[in-house]
Structure 1
Amino acid sequence: MTLLPRFTGVVAFSLFAAFSSLHAEEVSVKQGDIELRGELTLADGKTAKDGVILMQHGTLAHNKMEIMQTLSELLKEKGYNTLNVNLSYAIDKRPSEMLDCSIEHKHKHEDAVAELDTWMNWLKEQGASKVVLLGHSRGGNQVSWAASEKDSDLLEKVVAVAPATWDAADSAKEYEERYKKPLADLMTEATKLAGEGKGAEIMTLPGFVYCENAKAAADSVVSYYKDDERKNTPSLLPKIKKPMLIVMGSADEVVADLPAKLEGIKQDNLTVETVDGADHFFMDLYADEVADKVAEFVDWK
């Protein structure tokens, strides 16, 4: 269950006043026993009332990885506020660094959807008048998932940059090629444990997501590897009612199947743009082009 931020009354007003005078600020909000972290960056002369672009990073990454920081800085220069959030991965006050593969993984893919909802509520408490959800890679899928299931008057638009695709058969094939063990065997065990109410039990695995020789809860294994079409961003598009922008890189080998999966989708609220020559991370000048496309799409000026 998503909990509302623990900021009310005078506290919320004081925070809003502080944000009005700062360009960037480390912020946090409670969700159950976990404290979520983020960085709020305000453009010159702007406050949260002018709207905020809520940004979600990709797989096992963090809010200060290059693409997220660069986009935040470029959007600030264009007059847009951003809240660059750091997914917790079930860790209290998780630092802004790549997730340590040696931990016991107790997080789920869909945790991000609940955390984005918590941040949306937090922004509402701060007086934000409108919010755009923006996500990169797996984060692009997660903001799309959130928009498809947790739409609100506060949410105005959605931006997915190189959003994740999903195919269960391909995932199983890639897992066996990489980790030399059939995924089906592990999923059978994990699903059995979860069905018996033992989803928190830690399994020893040859690999989990990008981590070799990993330890992960059965519920986590089921979440990341079960056949769920919601992990395939194109499958979510018919359920998203707000204007949406998808930005792809023509040289992206991570979600190479994205263009083909988008070919048959025609929606009046969907815009698809391609950055010629860019790979999955839109380095250097490619990031400028992404920021230009986002600013033009958001169009808050």
Structure 2
Amino acid sequence: MALPSFASQSGLVEARLPSGKIASANFQAGKSGQPAVLILHGFLQTHTFPTIVSTMDALSTAGYTVVAPTLSLGISRRNKSLPCEAVHLHALDDDVAEVAFWVRWLMQKGHTRIVLVGHSFGNLQLLAYLGRSPAPAVKQVLMISLTDVEVKQNAQQRAGLAQDLRDRVSRRDHALAEVEFGHCKKYVSPPAGLLSYMRISRQTILDSLAKSAVPIEVIMGGKDDRMGADWVEKLVSRGIAVRVIPGASHFFDNQYEFDLQEAVLQALPGR
């Protein structure tokens, strides 16, 4: 059954999710014969985030079909990043379902080769998707600034918080939790939603990367201060292909956006 879509040309497209929410994406049609690329933004951001926009522009200029969705996070037509202090009712399963939705959306346009590109926490949502029967059309994944979740909280601290959340869920305590999470000093969410993200650890990331049947390549900035000092070494030790761009930050801003664009284009097939 065809997925309802309110636009099919290049530019902003909208589509109704199975939940009934309206999701949007920036779509650029490219040349036939090249893979289509899905680019996913970081946590709480949108497809208008600068790193996403510059990467999409480079791919589109090179002739690739590109779609950059904004995850709804439970909000129809969401077009702004969400503040940490907002009440977050979304969960990882919701994010994964929307990634799958946009992959199917590309497939229904006739694309049989799809590359997933993520930035920051978006990579973890892509990784969760890869662990849940990804579409055969997904042939490759590029992860930009792959998040290290144990920078601000070590494994023991995160395990303690996760156990507290599990206890609250088991006794049906739905009171909002307010915790430090990711880049947020105060993240507000029901326990079950937060727990879905807290289940992600360094170990689960490394294990999922190693088990992925889809080839994965990671692109990191040499001056990314949002990662542990040994994060790149941990990735390499698990056999993950990692390219480090010296001097670049987590966001590959300033002149490093061009180094990122070059690295992404070099990694893609069809060149």
| TM-score normalised over the length of structure 1 | 0.78
Task: Determine the C-alpha separation between the residues in 2 that align with 1:202 and 1:85.
Answer: 31
Tell me if the contact between 1:134 and 1:159 (Cα under 8 Å) persists in the aligned partners. Answer: yes
Q: Which residue of 2 aligns with 1:37?
A: 24
TM-superposition CA deviations, 1:178-218 (whole Å, max 9, x none): xxxxx94x65553223224x37x231525454445553111
Inter-CA distance 41–229: structure 2 relative to 1 (3 Å threshold)? same
Q: Which structure features the higher share of helix residues?
A: 1
Task: Determine the C-alpha separation between the residues in 1 that align with 2:15 and 2:216.
Answer: 27
Q: CA deviation at 1:229?
A: 4.1
Q: Which residue of 1 aligns with 2:255?
A: 285
Greater CA radius of gyration, 1 or 2?
Answer: 1
Q: CA deviation at 1:171?
A: 6.0
Tell me if the contact between 2:14 and 2:22 (Cα under 8 Å) persists in the aligned partners. Answer: no
TM-superposition CA deviations, 1:215-258 (whole Å, max 9, x none): 311112222334x4478533212221222211011111112342
Q: Which residue of 2 aligns with 1:179?
A: none
Q: Which residue of 1 aligns with 2:170?
A: 195
Task: Determine the C-alpha separation between the residues in 1 that align with 2:194 and 2:127.
Answer: 22
Percent of counterpart pairs with the same letter?
A: 20
Inter-CA distance 32–206: structure 2 relative to 1 (3 Å threshold)? closer
Inter-CA distance 210–162: structure 2 relative to 1 (3 Å threshold)? closer
Residues 1:159 and 2:142 aligned together: yes
The answer for unaligned runs of 5 or more in structure 2 is none
Q: CA deviation at 1:152?
A: 2.6
Task: Determine the C-alpha separation between the residues in 2 that align with 1:53 and 1:231.
Answer: 28
Residues 1:246 and 2:243 aligned together: no
Q: How many corresponding residue pairs?
A: 269
TM-superposition CA deviations, 1:61-86 (whole Å, max 9, x none): 11101000011011111222211111
Q: Which residue of 2 aligns with 1:6?
A: 3
Q: Which residue of 2 aligns with 1:123?
A: 106
Q: Which residue of 2 aligns with 1:220?
A: 193
CA RMSD of aligned residues (A): 2.8
Letter in 1 for 2:3: R
Q: CA deviation at 1:285?
A: 2.6
Task: Determine the C-alpha separation between the residues in 2 that align with 1:107 and 1:222.
Answer: 11
Task: Determine the C-alpha separation between the residues in 1 that align with 2:83 and 2:2.
Answer: 27
Tell me if the contact between 2:3 and 2:15 (Cα under 8 Å) persists in the aligned partners. Answer: no
- 1:250-261 to 2 correspondences below 5 Å: 250-256=222-228, 257-261=230-234
Tell me if the contact between 1:234 and 1:262 (Cα under 8 Å) persists in the aligned partners. Answer: yes
Tell me if the contact between 1:163 and 1:233 (Cα under 8 Å) persists in the aligned partners. Answer: no
Task: Determine the C-alpha separation between the residues in 1 that align with 2:75 and 2:20.
Answer: 9
Residues 1:92 and 2:76 aligned together: yes
**Larger mean Cα displacement after TM superposition, 253-262 or 81-90:** 253-262
| TM-score normalised over the length of structure 2 | 0.86
Tell me if the contact between 1:145 and 1:230 (Cα under 8 Å) persists in the aligned partners. Answer: no
Tell me if the contact between 1:166 and 1:232 (Cα under 8 Å) persists in the aligned partners. Answer: no
Task: Determine the C-alpha separation between the residues in 2 that align with 1:254 and 1:230.
Answer: 14
Q: Which residue of 2 aligns with 1:180?
A: none
TM-superposition CA deviations, 1:37-71 (whole Å, max 9, x none): 2111224xx36x74311011112211101000011
Task: Determine the C-alpha separation between the residues in 2 that align with 1:152 and 1:214.
Answer: 32
Task: Please give the secondary structure, in 2, of the residue aligned with 1:292.
Answer: helix
TM-superposition CA deviations, 1:104-162 (whole Å, max 9, x none): 21112343222111111111112222110110111122212322333332111110011
Q: CA deviation at 1:166?
A: 3.2
Residues 1:143 and 2:126 aligned together: yes
